[in-house]
Amino acid sequence: MPTPSHLNRVALKGRGARTNDSGRFESFRSEAFEDGWTEADEAARPLVTSIQPMKSKTIIAKNDSPDIGFNRSINPYRGCEHGCIYCYARPAHAFLGLSPGLDFESKLFFKPEAGKLLERELSKPGYKPQVIHIGGDTDPYQPQEKTLRVTRAVIETLARFNHPFTIITKSALISRDLDILGPMGQAGLARAAVSVTTLDRRLARSMEPRAATPERRIDAIRQLSEAGVPVTVMFAPAIPALNDHEMEAVLQRAAEAGATSAGYVALRLPLEINDLFQQWLATDHPDRAKRVMSLVRQIRGGAAYDSEWGKRMTGEGPVAEVMNQRFLIARRRFGLNEPSMRMDVGAFKVPAKAGDQLSLF
């Protein structure tokens, strides 16, 4: 693939990726090429978002990854309009015959039967409840959720069953569902995590073009906390020489807003994300692109990425260790190291349906 220096990639307004190269499974491959257009010329027609329903037989996904804090998850959407350039879910679009680049953030899929599928799975005889994580892949509160309400249907179902869950987002839209999240949080049945990667509006707009502003995310933490929902702030990804200097400031603002715990993940660049991220650096942050990638390689054993369990989330080496120590000190300093209360799995109960025989006792 040509390096960013060989091509003049012009960013599409409101999009994260700079190219739409074919997925790795395709028998053909398309690449951008130098056609003479520059930023001084009139821009091409904006990229339009499309969203299609997808047929699913089940809704609860399972994983056995030892460095992920959950083994059950629900993802209402595939692809994400937020367009975060670093998103680790991008490569999954290749399985659909689509590009992890612009296709990932403009050709979206949703699961219209998510609520009904979940009800069916939770109602099966012998079902044993475990905490379900919502949004482990793509954001459950991306812009389309405002009208599609797929995530809303999922948490409504979980509420009827008194089923514990966690949910993560970088969208202020989560505050729409405080009527459910608040009571469930107070009952020990729900926890939320809000991703805040920067307090710099310009960097956020560039790196996460269609996600909520940093201030709106801090406000979402405040609203969740005031409603009784335990909130974790996620500083993820931490990118050396780009946003890592903001770690302490982000944790402090989140703590002041009511967050009680914190986490971080070092930048991960698996598969196609490596090229996409470097293209973005070259167009949006050319003054520090080499420095960023040099430090990224220092925390990944000389490569752009190391997928080894136990290392992939934080990296290794002196640069990674300094980042980790800074995080631990800041977490303790701002009171974000409170142990998480165990969620109430025992409250789970299949609700009665019309026509069910009533118990005599």
* Phi, psi angle pair for 349, to nearest 5°: -155, 130
Q: Give residues with Cβ within 8 angstroms of 304, minimum separation 6.
A: 269, 274, 293, 296, 297
The DSSP symbol for 90 reads G
| Per-residue pLDDT reduced to its tens digit, 324-349 | 999 999 999 999 998 877 899 999 99
Q: What is the pLDDT of residues 116-152, one digit of tens each?
A: 999 999 999 999 999 999 998 999 999 999 999 999 9
Query: Structural domain boundaries of the chain?
Result: 4-32+45-337
62 CB-contact burial (10 Å; exposed 0-12 / middle 13-18 / buried 19+): exposed
The pTM is what? 0.86
- Residue (of 284, 306, 287) closest to 296 by Cα position: 306
- For residue 5, pLDDT beyond 50: no
**Which pLDDT value is given to residue 69?**
83
Between 162 and 7, residue with greater pLDDT: 162
Confidence of residue 12 (pLDDT cuts 50, 70, 90): low
What's the rounded Cα separation, in Å, for the pair 187 and 198?
32
Peptide bond into 237 cis (omega under 30): yes
pLDDT of residue 33 exceeding 50: no
Whether pLDDT at 162 is above 80: yes
**pLDDT tens digits, 216-232:** 999 999 999 999 999 99
Fold of 4-32+45-337: pyruvate-formate lyase- activating enzyme (3.80.30)
pLDDT band at 3 (very low <50, low <70, confident <90, very high): very low
Average pLDDT over residues 174-185: 98
Alpha-carbon separation of residue 271 from 9, 95, 138, 199, 306 (angstroms): 20, 13, 17, 28, 11
d(CA 340, CA 337): 9
Lowest-confidence pick of 51-60, 159-168, 349-358: 349-358
72, 193, 54: which is closest to 111 by C-alpha?
54
How far is residue 246 from each of residues 37, 79, 219, measured CA to CA in Å?
A: 36, 28, 18
154 CB-near residues (< 8 Å, 6+ apart)? 59, 74, 76, 114, 115, 118, 134, 140
Q: What six digits make up the tokens of 42?
A: 């009139």
Mean pLDDT of 313-320: 97
CB 31 within 8 A of CB 21: yes
**Residue 96, pLDDT score:** 93
Q: How distant, in Å, are the alpha carbons of 118, 238, 268, 319, 345 from that of 292?
A: 42, 11, 13, 12, 43
Cβ–Cβ < 8 Å for 243, 197? yes
Both tokens assigned to 224? 């969740």
Residues of the chain with pLDDT > 70: what percent? Answer: 85
Q: What percent of the chain has pLDDT over 90?
A: 80
Q: What pLDDT score was predicted for residue 22?
A: 56
Helices (H), 73-200: 102-106, 114-122, 145-148, 150-160, 178-186
Name the token pair of 248.
Answer: 């302490």
Q: What mean pLDDT, rounded, does the chain reach?
A: 89
Largest CA distance in the chain: 80
DSSP characters for 191-249? Answer: EEEEE---S-HHHHHHHSTTSPPHHHHHHHHHHHHHTT--EEEEEEEE-TTTTGGGHHH
- Pick the range with the lowest mean pLDDT from 46-55, 280-289, 298-307, 309-318: 46-55
Least confident of 24-28, 64-68, 69-73, 185-189: 24-28
At 77-96, the pLDDT tens digits run 999 999 999 999 999 999 99
Confidence tier at 6 by pLDDT (50, 70, 90): very low
Q: Which amino acid is at 227?
A: A
